[in-house]
Chains A and B, each alone.
Chain A
Amino acid sequence: MMLESKNIMKKYMMTTAIEDMSLTIESGMIYALLGPNGSGKTTFMKIAAGLTKPSKGSITYNGIPVGIQSKKEIAYMPTEPFFYSYMNVADVGKYYNDFFEDFDIERYNSLLERMELTPKLKTKTLSSGMAAKLKIAATLARDAKIYMLDEPLNGIDVIARDRIITTILENAKNDKAMIISSHLVDELEKIIDYAIFIKTGRVELVGNVEEIREARNQSIVEVYKTIYA
């Protein structure tokens, strides 16, 4: 077991982003974190990345509360653009190279080529699609143990989507886990091993994709519609 959350709860002013969430993430699997906007997917990822503390409950990575060590081994890609505005694409690579031991600058450069991004481009001038590609390149150039990608396909055109999915699959290996959140359930269904359905801050359904399909006699897209429609 790599990442384990126990009864975590997160409250903001008048809203509860996560009501009660217990999850276990194992290596060698690709997980889809599914749910509509506001269901708690992003909050869960931010807590797992050590960027937000839960109001209650605990979250551990290899038995140790998330913190400095987990940040070395968990690569998190937020859904919003987050790079410093003074940086260009090459600076982002240097920054990651300076702070993450598992970052491979050569892989970053080859991912940039694949995503058709040039090093001189200023991050503040990037379109939303280009910014999304840059986030993917920076995150997947790390040789992390867990990848958490929050809406990696947002703002990406259909052709680039395939390229991104291919890149994601290249990084999925036996000693790694991958957690991907997305609204585009049909795009994810083809590549995931486990589906986690989140509804109003709780885990509504979690399980192996094949087992869910067999047990319900529905595709994951149909299960999604059944739960949230």
Chain B
Amino acid sequence: MLKLMKYEFKKQAMTKYIMLILMAIIEVIFLIGLIVKNNENLIAVPMVIMIMITIVAIFFVSVESIFTFSNDLKTKASYMLFMTPHSSYTIIGAKLLVSFITLFLTGMVLLLINTGNFVLLGARMEGFAQVRDVIAMLLKEIWRIEINFYDVFKFILLLLIGFAIFITTAFVSITISSTVLANKRFKGLVSFAVFIALNLVFTWISNNILATDIWSNSYFLISMGINLIFLIATYLGTAWLLEKKISL
């Protein structure tokens, strides 16, 4: 499985390098702005760009995993993967693990960079530190949200698992279109409908079964439990379909 994971990483490595180089360039511009101090444009613009890159990057990493999987099923390169003496459960497991690890690492690295930038900015510019404190106070007084590291961590974890489910539901849909619907017309449309339906069902379950206090520990634990069940079910569904109905 580790060898399968190694080649999955290699397949998607180039875009990660580009992303890191881009972030490094913008970070350098930001640091120059911070050291020069008077140049607010050199601080504000890179910060906004980096926050935008963070959001886009997490979404992109998810979408790239989906496109890679689609290519692995729909192009001749699929032989390369499915010729290896591994079950579909191992192959899909390796793909998902790589997607999740990449997603988690991308999220964490970008979060650390952005957090580091805010800390640096707060230390360097008093005005910014005051604005930050006012926002934190407003959140606490008006919405009773007290931001602490643990809450932020829980929120990010739930966000990342949400993206992971986005990936696995896409995997199921693509697999349906390449296996049971392989010989049918409108297979793309039907599989897209399956993708939407699965996501709607999951959203409905999340909204109707879970507790309402999203900052409570019980919400976090129940939500993680449901997410994991959905994640495992979609993984097993994908691998089972490929094991029984593969048609390359």
Contact = CB atoms under 8 A, between A and B. Distances in A.
A51 B7 contact: no
Interface in A153-176: none
A82 B183 contact: no
Contacts of A53: 244-247
Interface residues of B, number: 26
Contacts of B14: 86
Contacts of A84: 7, 11, 77, 80
A55 to B, nearest CB: 9
Contacts, number: 64
B93 to A, nearest CB: 14
Interface in B43-72: none
Contacts of A50: 82-83, 246
B84 interface: yes
Given A13-B183, A69-B85, A78-B76, 13 more contacts: A12-B183, A13-B184, A51-B83, A51-B246, A71-B83, A71-B84, A82-B76, A82-B77, A82-B78, A82-B79, A82-B80, A84-B7, A95-B80
A51 B248 contact: yes
A51 B79 contact: yes
B130 interface: no
Interface in B190-248: 244-248
Contacts of B184: 13
Interface of A: 11-13, 46, 49-53, 67-69, 71-72, 76, 78, 80-86, 95, 98-100
A64 to B, nearest CB: 13
A99 B84 contact: yes
B144 interface: no
A126 to B, nearest CB: 14
A218 to B, nearest CB: 36
Given A82-B77, A84-B11, A68 B85 contact: yes
A86 B84 CA distance: 18
Contacts of A52: 246-248
A223 to B, nearest CB: 32
5 contacts: A51-B83, A53-B245, A68-B85, A71-B84, A82-B76
Nearest to A98: B3
A83 B80 contact: yes
A81 B244 CA distance: 26
B1 to A, nearest CB: 12
Residue picked from B14, B85, B86, most chain A C-beta under 10 Å? B85
